[in-house]
Amino acid sequence: MFYFKQIEVDPTVSTELFNWSKENMQKNDQPFVLLDAEKFKKDCTSFMQWTKDNDLEVLLVVGIKVNPFNGQDATKVPHIDLMDDSRNIALNFPIENCDETYTKMYKLIEGDQIDIKLPDGTMYSRFSDDSKFEEVTTFYLNKPTFFNTSVPHQVYNDTDNNRLSLSIRFKKNPLV
C-alpha cells in the first residue's frame, strides 16, 4: 500500500506556491476549498514547468486550513478525500505552520465508511461514530509530499495557529 512520499523541489517552485497561496487561499475557516485551478495554472509558471518535466497535468487545486486545536468539526475525525482510484494521489505543499503539526494515517478496523459526493465531483468519506482505527503511519508536512488520499487520515494541529497547505490533484496519478 502506498501511503506517502516526500520529495525535493527547487525552492523557486515552493516560494511561488507559497506566494500564490497567500493571495488565493480561503480567508474563511472552511477546511477544504476548491481554488481557481485555471488562475493557478496561469500564475504558477515554475510549478507548471515542474509538472511538465514530471509528466503530470494539474486537475484540481485545494486549499486546506486546519484551525488551532482542530477547531472545525470536519477536522476532528479521520476522513478520505477521493476522486477515483486512478486519481487518489495528491501532492501536498506546506504553506504555513506545517512543521509543528502532523498527519496520521489509519487502517479502518471496525465501523462503516460513509461516502458523500461533493458538488465538484469529488468524494469525501467519513466514518460511523462507532469506528475503530489502527494507526499505520505519521508524517510532518515539512516538504512537498505525495500522499494517498484514499487512506483514512487526519491532520493534528495542537498549536495556537492556523495550519495551511495546498493540495494539488492530477489528471492521472504520478508514478511514486
Q: Given the complex with Fe ion, which of 16 and 81 has the nearer CB atom? A: 81
Q: Given the complex with Fe ion, which of 16 and 127 has the nearer CB atom? A: 127
The residue whose Cβ lies closest to Fe ion is 81
The least CB distance from residue 11 to Fe ion, in Å, is 26
The least CB distance from residue 32 to Fe ion, in Å, is 7
**Which x/- pattern, by CB under 5 A, does the window 65-104 give for Fe ion?**
----------------x-----------------------
How many H-runs (helices) and E-runs (strands) does the chain carry?
A: 3, 12
The least CB distance from residue 157 to Fe ion, in Å, is 13
The side-by-side arrangement of strands in the sheet containing 89-96 is 4-6, 145-148, 89-96, 163-170, 58-66, 32-34
Dihedral over alpha carbons 132, 76, 151, 160 (to 10 degrees): -130
In this structure, the chain runs to a length of 176
Q: Given the complex with Fe ion, which of 12 and 69 has the nearer CB atom? A: 69
Write the CB contacts of 23 (distance below 8 Å, at least 6 apart in sequence): none
* Neighbouring-strand partners of residue 76: none
The least CB distance from residue 10 to Fe ion, in Å, is 26
145: contact with Fe ion by CB under 5 A? no
The least CB distance from residue 47 to Fe ion, in Å, is 21
Q: Given the complex with Fe ion, which of 10 and 158 has the nearer CB atom? A: 158
| Residue 148 CA: distances (Å) to CA of 11, 64, 95, 134, 171 | 24, 16, 19, 17, 15
Q: Given the complex with Fe ion, which of 48 and 141 has the nearer CB atom? A: 141
Instruction: Retrieve residue 114's grid coordinates.
Output: 460513509
Number of residues that bind Fe ion (CB under 5 A): 1
By C-alpha distance, which of 152, 131, 153 is closest to 141?
153
List residues binding Fe ion (CB under 5 A).
81
